[in-house]
Amino acid sequence: MKRSIYYSEHLENSILPDYLKAFHSDKVKKNCASFIAAICDYCRRDFLNIDALHAQSYFNYLSFSNHDGKKLALSTIQLKYSTLHAFSNYLIRNSGSLKIEYSANPFNKINFQKPDPYLNASKVPTPEQINSILQRCESEPVLYSAISLIIKCGFTVGELLKLRQSGGNNAASVAVCTCSEMESGWNR
């Protein structure tokens, strides 16, 4: 697996091997190790010493530089981001047992400079169109709740189905309760 010369001994011999044990796929382990080594090499420091400015600089580099003569796809950059963000969250959650001081995720506020090429702005509904859809659904509480959860909280169809499964016969009341809580500022 790829490693970086900037790894601390503790990261290389203890933290990273323990983290990678959680993954069953060798491909996932290899990718994860590669992504962590790449940011350490770019920043010329151990992962535990990367701050938000280093992280943003790295993602700017990924977004705007040519790699083997071509630009990286946004999906590739986002995969690297989610992997590094997850590893950083692991470090925060387990800092006590890992015997490290790590309390802030440097990847929380990464600003991706490149718009998603698959997102067509002309097909995104306006706030007025969204309100019109919600007004048409007001007479049906379950439909209104489902659409509100999708629009306002970003729920996926899978998350809505999980609500129904966990709610049994009470799915409608769960969704309506969730929706009314959401209207007063609560989110998921």
Last residue of a domain, which of 28, 63, 98? 98
Task: Looking at the structure, tell me whether residues 50 and 87 fall in a common domain.
Answer: yes
pTM exceeds 0.85 for this model: no
Domain count, the chain: 2
Task: Looking at the structure, tell me whether residues 70 and 134 fall in a common domain.
Answer: no
DSSP 57-110: HHHHHHHHSEETTEEPPHHHHHHHHHHHHHHHHHHHHTHHHHT------TTTT-
7-56 pLDDT, tens digit per residue, is 999 999 999 999 999 999 999 999 999 999 999 999 999 999 999 999 99
CA distance 36 to 84: 7
Last residue of a domain, which of 98, 116, 136? 98
Instruction: Please report the pLDDT score of residue 114 as a whole number.
Output: 54
- Give a yes or no: residue 109 inside a domain: no
User: Interior CA angle at 24 toward 157 and 96, to 5°?
Assistant: 90
Distances (CA, A) of 103 to 15, 23, 112: 16, 24, 23
- Give a yes or no: residue 30 inside a domain: yes
Closest residue by Cα to residue 77 from 30, 117, 43: 117
Whether the CB-CB separation of 106 and 50 falls below 8 Å is answered with yes
Task: Looking at the structure, tell me whether residues 33 and 77 fall in a common domain.
Answer: yes
The domain of 137 spans 125-183
Task: Looking at the structure, tell me whether residues 86 and 167 fall in a common domain.
Answer: no
Six token digits for residue 175:
């969704």
- Give a yes or no: residue 155 inside a domain: yes
Task: Looking at the structure, tell me whether residues 14 and 93 fall in a common domain.
Answer: yes
- Give a yes or no: residue 142 inside a domain: yes
Task: Please provide the average confidence, as pLDDT, over all residues in the chain.
Answer: 83
Task: Looking at the structure, tell me whether residues 156 and 93 fall in a common domain.
Answer: no
Task: Looking at the structure, tell me whether residues 80 and 139 fall in a common domain.
Answer: no
Task: Looking at the structure, tell me whether residues 94 and 144 fall in a common domain.
Answer: no
Mean pLDDT of the region 132-152: 86
